[in-house]
Chains A and B, each alone.
Chain A
Amino acid sequence: MSSRSRNGRQYWVAVRAMVVLTVVLGIGYTAVVTGIGQLALPAQASGQLVSDADGQVVGSALIGQSFTDADGNALPQWFQSRPSAAGSGYDGTASSGSNLGPENADLIKAIGDRRAAVAKLEGVSESEVPADAVTASASGLDPQISPEYARLQVARVAEARDLPEAKVSALVESFIHGRDLGILGDPTVNVLELNLALASMAH
């Protein structure tokens, strides 16, 4: 066989291999994993959708939400999520961080503004505002905040809802999720789940 026809044969082998592998790896593998996932772990495979007291789906436990009015002002009766760079905020079709660098003037200004706004909303001094309250997450969909930021919001939420502060505080403490395996990541509070519990508490 000449070297040219040998080379040509390689391409014919490659095409056939790619077709078979596409069927096996692209379709077969995905179908099997999807089948097992949907049968054995349906809640997880479907994205852990959560419902309110009326059974209405209001979101996913894994995807953060805004708790603001249409103009982006924080609604005082809800615990607030972190700032978000996904679309106009917690847009599930546009996950993204801000990608602003450590010396970026826009970021520096934004952090200063957020710090002042959070301090004013919570009625605390600016130095008490934790880092996660003034920074956008990597996904823009971070469903969680630090326990410090959750605790900071207790007094304001309790007042807005006319609930005893101790009761709201106890609720927050019960929603603190510790580190996985005791060492992985940071302790967190899931804002949507906390707010759902808060809503049913008021009922």
Chain B
Amino acid sequence: MDSSLLAILQVGALALVLVVIHRPLGDYMARIYSSTKDLRVERGFYRLIGVDAHSEQSWMAYLRSVLAFSLVGVLLVYALQRAQAVLPYSLGLPAIPEGLSFNTAVSFVTNTNWQSYSPEATMGYTVQLAGLAVQNFVSAAVGIAVAIALVRGLARTRQGTLGNFWVDLTRGTLRLLLPLAALVAIVLIAGGVIQNFAGFTDVTTLTGGTQSIPGGPVASQEAIKMLGTNGGGFFNANSAHPFENPTGFTNLVQIVLMLAIPFSLPRTFGVMVGDRRQGYAILAAMAAIFVVSLTALTLFELNGAGTAPQLAGAAMEGKETRFGIAGSTLFATSSTLTSTGAVNSMHDSFTSLGGMMPMINMMLGEVAPGGVGSGLYGMLILAVIAVFIAGLLVGRTPEYLGKKLGPREIKLASVYILVTPTLVLAGTALSFAIPAVRADVEATSILNPGLHGLSEVLYAFTSAANNNGSAFAGLTANTPWFNTALGVAMLFGRFIPIVLVLALAGSLASQPKIPSTAGTLPTHRPQFVGLLVGVTIIVSALTYFPVLALAPLAEGL
């Protein structure tokens, strides 16, 4: 069969699965976060941690809880790494140095899962389980909680509160992520993903050489790594490693996992604001961007432009035989249009224009469909901007879902869309503008010389600030500069937007609902979907085009 046709059939299979699951999953999430009943195990948990599940929080209180929980997470993951030498099941690995521990702690708490290190040579099982896997769950639950708080802000009228963070965190973890992850982990084991505590097994190979076969509790980690759009690999090669992702089938399962919750949350949103069409409009905008981006990347890679791919006969450097090109590009697109950042192929070795696509995906703000929770709130912010621009065009006060978007709301949304571009561009610029840093970046960090080296640095900051975690992995990032600068980019890139989103949610929740009139812009029609897609693209295109022209475009054209 023709490779383009196969690529289309593969996407068709993926779309079919997502269409089937988005309704039950979206409705289920709406029920979880709307229910007034607590499970018995949840009541026990609330007693243990000292929370009144029926008290509501203002946006400030909700934010304080998010920040307190995240700070405790950073400190715990940091401490576990520093103490690795004395922890059990550490495979004899030493304590992890301060800079790397900071970077990794921030990385997993912010749902980024950027890895400056090679896991099989750095992280023992205890740090992976008690530190990293736990954050895989809870950083995802935090993201969804913040998105739900924003949806409540849109749905509620004249209320000072947004729900209770601890309840949202608990329900997201215990009712949604934990059961799904456990189920999927078993499916992955059946598909060949390993799950053991065997450490490294030395074998004598057929030719009489030796090989160390790694072990580890991989499937349990893999399931939540993908479901929670985390992306931090158990092994250095991430989802390209045959023990993480052994077959074409497990590859599709992993892609479905990345997209399942993000593509279902618009349904949850529609149900919770009492107008499902609003959710479908958001979903349509996400899907449109996804399809266009996937098509571009697949064509670039199948076409295989560039000296090395042409010489090899296909763009197979850094790709696994069992996935082929289409299985690699679908994974890469899903991973960078969500906040996952897992890889089953090495983006650094993509064709020049192909390697630009994951960067563009992240630069769009990861909203198509985006990370769990962060994708929905990112797209709703862009919807606010889109309504505002439409309002300017026709000279009317903008409103969205019956909420007036006044100066305060527009300011919050505008600052939101400036945060990550500022971090990306400033971080990249500083890497080359500070002489001592530049010398270190060029001598130590960059693998590929010339324009491609600039792409490696640009990719790193784009990934960190957008909390993605994928890399042009030739970059040696385990240096004082990158551990610190990327750590700061991840922190700011996660929590400044969360502050703004919760502030916006609080201000929307306190407003009355104004009835729609003939002059109200309908936000559920194709016209609005087009406007939303246009705004998404224009905002990031204007911001990033110059720097893209300097690196991947210059290399590829």
Residues of A within 8 A of B (CB): 6-7, 9-18, 20-22, 24-27, 29-30, 32-34, 36-38, 40-41, 44-49, 52, 56-60, 62-70, 75, 78, 82, 86, 90-104, 107-108, 111-112, 115, 129-132, 134-146, 179-181, 183-186, 188, 192, 195-196, 199
| B219 partner, pick from A37, A141, A144, beta carbons under 8 A | A37
The 5 closest A-B pairs by CB, nearest first: A185-B248, A102-B306, A184-B248, A99-B474, A138-B240
Interface 0/1 of B155-196, CB less than 8 Å to A = 000000000001001000100001001100110011111111
Chain A residue contacts of B194, Cβ below 8 A: 44-47
Contacts of B198 in A (CB 8 A): 46-47
Instruction: Tell me which of A12, A27, A62, A143 contacts B129 (CB under 8 A).
Output: A27
The verdict on B288 contacting chain A, using a C-beta distance below 8 Å, is: no
Q: B137 touching A25 by the CB < 8 A rule?
A: yes
Cα A32 to Cα B50 in complex, Å, equals 27
A30 touches B213 (CB 8 A): no
Residues on B with beta carbons closer than 8 Å to the beta carbon of A32: 182
Given known contacts A16-B49, A111-B317, what 12 new A-B pairs fall within 8 Å (CB)?
A6-B64, A20-B48, A38-B196, A56-B204, A60-B243, A94-B120, A104-B308, A141-B241, A181-B13, A183-B10, A184-B13, A199-B206
Contact B243 A63 (CB under 8 A): yes
Chain B residues within 8 Å of A192, by CB: 206
Residue from A21, A98, A131, A137 in contact with B320 in the complex, judged by beta carbons closer than 8 Å: A137
* Cβ-neighbour of B121 out of A15, A52, A94 (below 8 A): A94
- Contact A62 B166, beta carbon cutoff 8 Å: no
Q: When A18-B72, A26-B134, A47-B194 are in contact, do A33 and B248 touch as well, CB less than 8 Å? A: no
Output the least CB separation between B182 and chain A (Å): 6
Chain B 21-53 interface residues, beta-carbon cutoff 8 Å to A: 45, 48-51
Complex: A94 Cα to B449 Cα, angstroms: 24
Instruction: Choose from A34, A99, A112, A180 the contact partner of B311 (Cβ within 8 Å).
Output: A112
- Which of B347-355, B385-393, B501-509 is the interface stretch? B347-355
7 sample A-B contacts, Cβ–Cβ < 8 Å, listed by A number: A9-B50, A14-B68, A33-B182, A37-B186, A58-B206, A102-B317, A103-B307
Separation of A137 and B324 alpha carbons in the complex (Å) = 11
User: In whole angstroms, how far apart are the Cα atoms of A11 and B219 in the complex?
Assistant: 32
| Interface residue B314 (Cβ < 8 Å from any Cβ of A) | yes
Q: Which among B138, B190, B205, B248 is the interface contact of A25 at CB below 8 angstroms?
A: B138
Report Cα–Cα, A86/B320, bound state, in Å.
13
A97 near B349 (CB under 8 angstroms)? yes
A95 touches B241 (CB 8 A): yes
Q: Are B129 and A20 in contact (CB under 8 A)?
A: no
Interface centre among A22, A56, A59, A135 (most CB of B within 10 A): A135
B214 touches A92 (CB 8 A): yes
A residues in contact with B346, CB < 8 Å: 97-99, 138
Closest CB in chain A relative to B250 CB, distance in Å: 9
Given A16-B48, A30-B133, A138-B346, A65 and B313 contact (CB-CB distance below 8 Å) = no
Most chain B CB within 10 A, of A36, A47, A56, A75, is at A47
Give the contacting residue for B308; candidates A16, A30, A103; CB below 8 A.
A103
Cross-chain contact B192 with A44 (CB below 8 angstroms): yes
